[in-house]
Amino acid sequence: MSESFYSERFGKNVWLTNHAIEAMAKRKVTLPEVKILIELGNYKSVEKSHGWIYHGFSEREDNLVCSAIVNEKAIIIKTIMIRWQLR
């Protein structure tokens, strides 16, 4: 994992996997957008420490932007998706 930042919302570091960084580039999602996603997005827990964080960006035509995360001692962003739908 090569990128990280601190989340005030969760009170812990956020790490982006290499796969997440590649997905960001492919989908043209910027690091500032990922930071907004983590701090302001809706969080849906899927399992004990796994979940989704999603957020709509009015300036993007490919909403919703979503991240699959692991929430433990740090937030690990596994991937970034666009055109995501809550089910």
For the chain, domain boundaries = 3-81
Cβ 14 vs Cβ 7: under 8 Å: yes
pTM of the predicted protein model: 0.91
Per-residue pLDDT reduced to its tens digit, 43-53: 999 988 999 99
pLDDT digits (tens, 9 = 90+) for 5-37: 999 999 999 999 999 999 999 999 999 999 999
As beta bridge partners, residue 54 has: 42, 66
DSSP state of 72: S
Name 26's Cβ contacts closer than 8 Å, sequence gap at least 6. none
In the sheet with 42-45, reading across from the earlier edge strand, the strands are 3-7, 12-16, 75-81, 65-71, 50-55, 42-45
CB atoms within 10 A of CB 67: 28
Eight-class DSSP state of 73: S
